[in-house]
Amino acid sequence: MLAAELAALDFCYVTTTGRTTGRPHRIEIWFAAHPEHDTIFMLSGGRERADWVRNLVAAPRCMVEIGEAQFVGYGRVIEGTDEDELARTLVHDKYAQGDDLASWRASALPVAIDLTPPTES
């Protein structure tokens, strides 16, 4: 499982491989860590139309930076799976303090990235 100090950070960076260009595509995004596995969850407000989601579907291998730690990750769309509700709850609850994110929680596309152990940066 992801170290607590990393899981508590506000955002991570995900670098996917462009599905048409083959070039790196880096985004900053909110995330929440799975409590028992080396997996992080994100919610895509743009759903399947988001470039980063389309890139992960075409080529699941990606790079993830959380704080100073770097991981190789493998992304997957998890809508309709056993992890769907857990992902929505964890991400929503991490960021919803005082903000009404209920419609985003309900309508966004949940994505998981399974992480391999961190490498030194």
Q: What's the pTM?
A: 0.93
In a domain? residue 93: yes
Q: Domain range spanning residue 31?
A: 4-115
Query: What is residue 79's predicted lDDT score, i.e. its pLDDT?
Result: 97
Residue 50: C-alpha distances to residues 32, 43, 83, 105, 118 (Å)? 19, 11, 20, 16, 26
Is the C-alpha dihedral spanning 81, 84, 7, 9 positive or negative?
positive
Query: What is residue 119's predicted lDDT score, i.e. its pLDDT?
Result: 61
In a domain? residue 121: no
In a domain? residue 66: yes
What is the Cα 69 distance to its own chain's centre? 15
In a domain? residue 61: yes
Query: What is residue 117's predicted lDDT score, i.e. its pLDDT?
Result: 75
Number of domains present in the structure of the chain: 1
Query: What is residue 118's predicted lDDT score, i.e. its pLDDT?
Result: 60
In a domain? residue 120: no
In a domain? residue 10: yes
Query: What is residue 46's predicted lDDT score, i.e. its pLDDT?
Result: 95
Residues in the chain, pLDDT under 70:
98, 118-121
What is the Cα 109 distance to its own chain's centre? 11
CATH number assigned to the domain comprising residue 68: 2.30.110.10
Query: What is residue 68's predicted lDDT score, i.e. its pLDDT?
Result: 94
